[in-house]
């Protein structure tokens, strides 16, 4: 097995994180397919063995030029991760050793989830995976030889707050499932008799089969970002989106750290947030997207801590000034831009770690002037779109219906 040491290392890291109370981020991957891009949130925290196994294949490029080889009606799924087409030839995805079945009742095979495919033996999964098109939680539950392990979900399914239920990613999955199914041996002898339910794009019986045009190809799968969720002081769910290159830990939500000097005229109904950003090179810049409840649409963000010009902890407005600060989009998103050691980093040291103590707020008075800030608090249809540092933030802003209001 190629990754035995990596599995051991991952287990140690997971155990250490749990012991010290560090929050684990859920990795997001992008599947680039010939039917559209599919963004998938992986369950790093609740299915660590399965996610590690899947990411091993991703990082090795083993899924590059693979294809969806099965589209079944009962249960209603589409399946991939098993076969490759490149250089005018078919081959198997090189398989690592089988993994233990991590089926969990808290992760049922609902519509929009991704699970590991296997034989009738529970601990036989290797490289193949499938998307649940319908609710298969009973059919693929524990009574079915121990259940099939769900290890992630499509962003845009199951009432996901980041995209609506008809989001682009789930639309791509549904489009694949709606394709006509064929018995491979009837259209290409090299396919053999194994693929009896293969979905094909733009193909009909009697036509000339072109694998590059007709297969649902998975060009590549790449890691994009990670998601972490926490609960605000008001009891609402908050999602933080970060690059996979950094770690986010010690996420704490609380009431104000200093009520006596709180900024006047600002509503901080979701409370105060604190977290540590690690994994940076000293002085590196990074960004974090914060998704708040839909009915809370901030137009300001305040930090509490020292600044380069005032070493005593104090409140200061953290608006975007071209390098650091918070940007707002007229909806429930705020994007926080940091540079290690500069304004917004409570330790003010370029040491590869950023400590963020702050709170999104709604100010009754909207002003473009701030303590080092230089951008307005909202954008209109003539504003220049923001250039984000990592992929999923672009996706979020493009497909979220509230963001469309700023770009009609």
Q: Is the pLDDT of residue 297 over 60?
A: yes
Answer whether residue 384 shows pLDDT above 50.
Answer: no
Residues 6+ apart with CB under 8 A from 350: 282, 283, 340, 341
- Is the sign of the CA dihedral 132, 134, 135, 139 positive or negative? negative
Q: Within 13 Å, how many C-alpha atoms sit on residue 115's CB side? A: 31
pLDDT at 376: 26
Confidence check: pLDDT of 309 > 90: yes
> pLDDT tens digits for 181-206?
999 888 877 766 678 999 999 999 88
At residue 105, the pLDDT reads 95
Question: For residue 157, what pLDDT is reported?
Answer: 59
User: What is the Cα–Cα distance from 308 to 318, expressed in whole angstroms?
Assistant: 13
The ranges assigned to domains in the chain are 4-223, 232-404
pLDDT over threshold 50, residue 398:
no
Nearest to 58, CA basis, from 165, 218, 211: 218
Q: Would the pLDDT of 150 be above 90?
A: yes
* Beta carbons of 135 and 4 less than 8 angstroms apart: no
What spatial distance separates the first Cα and last Cα of the chain, rounded to whole Å? 52
Q: And the tokens for 148?
A: 């099939």
- Whether 139 shows a pLDDT value over 50: the answer reads yes
**Mean pLDDT estimate for the chain:** 82
pLDDT at 23 (0 to 100): 41
The confidence score (pLDDT) of residue 366 equals: 52
CB within 8 A of 156, min separation 6: which ones?
39, 112, 162, 163, 164, 165, 166, 167, 168, 169, 170, 171
Is the pLDDT at 243 greater than 60, yes or no? Answer: yes
Q: Is the pLDDT of residue 236 over 60?
A: yes
Which option is the CATH number for 4-223: 2.40.100.10, 3.20.20.70, 3.40.50.1860, 3.40.50.2300? 2.40.100.10
CA dist., res. 92 & res. 120, Å (int): 20
For the segment 127-145, the average pLDDT, to the nearest whole number, is 97
Higher pLDDT among residues 5 and 127, named by residue? 127
Confidence of residue 365 (pLDDT cuts 50, 70, 90): low
Structure confidence by residue, pLDDT tens digits, 17-36? 222 223 457 899 999 999 99
Predicted confidence band of residue 224 (pLDDT cuts 50, 70, 90): confident
Between 246 and 325, the more confident residue is: 325
Which band of pLDDT confidence, cut at 50, 70 and 90, is reported for residue 144? Answer: very high
Distance CA 296, CA 239 (A): 13
- Whether residue 39 is predicted with pLDDT greater than 70 in this model: the reply is yes
* Environment class of 282 (CB within 10 Å of its CB; exposed 0-12, middle 13-18, buried 19+): exposed
**Lowest model confidence (mean pLDDT) among 20-29, 57-66, 114-123, 176-185:** 20-29
Q: What average pLDDT does the segment 147-163 reach?
A: 73
Nearest to 374 by CA among 343, 404, 408, 398: 343
Segment 361-375 mean pLDDT:
54
pLDDT for res 205? 84
Q: What is the pLDDT, as a whole number, of residue 400?
A: 39
């Amino acid at each position: 097995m190629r990754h035995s040491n990596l599995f051991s290392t991952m287990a140690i890291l997971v155990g250490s994180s749990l012991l010290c109370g560090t929050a684990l981020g859920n990795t997001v991957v992008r599947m680039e397919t010939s039917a559209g891009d599919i963004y998938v949130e992986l369950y790093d925290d609740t299915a660590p063995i399965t996610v590690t196994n899947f990411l091993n294949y991703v990082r090795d490029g083993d899924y590059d030029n693979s294809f969806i080889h099965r589209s079944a009606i009962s249960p209603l799924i589409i399946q991939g991760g098993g076969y490759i087409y490149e250089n005018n030839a078919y081959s198997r995805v090189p398989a690592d050793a089988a993994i233990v079945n991590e089926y969990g009742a808290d992760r049922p095979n609902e519509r929009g989830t991704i699970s590991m495919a296997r034989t009738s033996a529970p601990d036989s999964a290797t490289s193949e995976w499938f998307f649940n098109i319908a609710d298969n939680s009973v059919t693929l539950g524990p009574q079915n030889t121990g259940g099939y392990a769900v290890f992630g979900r499509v962003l845009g399914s199951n009432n996901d707050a980041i995209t609506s239920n008809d989001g682009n990613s789930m639309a791509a999955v549904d489009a694949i499932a709606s394709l006509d199914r064929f018995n491979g041996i009837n259209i290409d002898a090299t396919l053999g008799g194994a693929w009896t339910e293969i979905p094909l794009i733009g193909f009909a019986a009697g036509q000339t089969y072109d694998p590059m045009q007709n297969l649902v190809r998975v060009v590549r799968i790449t890691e994009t970002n990670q998601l972490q969720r926490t609960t605000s002081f008001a009891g609402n769910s908050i999602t933080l989106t970060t690059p996979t290159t950094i770690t986010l830990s010690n996420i704490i939500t609380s009431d104000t750290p200093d009520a006596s000097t709180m900024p006047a005229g600002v509503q901080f109904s979701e409370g105060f947030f604190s977290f540590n950003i690690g994994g940076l090179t000293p002085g590196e810049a990074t960004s974090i997207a914060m998704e708040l409840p839909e009915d809370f649409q901030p137009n300001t963000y305040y930090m509490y801590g020292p600044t380069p010009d005032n070493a005593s902890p104090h409140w200061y407005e953290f608006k975007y000034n071209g390098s650091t600060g918070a940007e707002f989009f007229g909806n429930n998103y705020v994007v926080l831009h940091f540079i290690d050691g500069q304004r917004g980093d409570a330790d003010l040291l370029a040491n590869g770690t950023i400590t963020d103590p702050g709170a999104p707020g709604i100010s009754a008075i909207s002003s473009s002037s701030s303590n080092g800030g230089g951008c307005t608090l909202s954008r209109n249809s003539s504003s220049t779109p923001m250039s984000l540092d990592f992929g999923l933030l672009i996706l979020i802003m493009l497909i979220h219906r509230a963001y469309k209001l700023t770009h009609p």
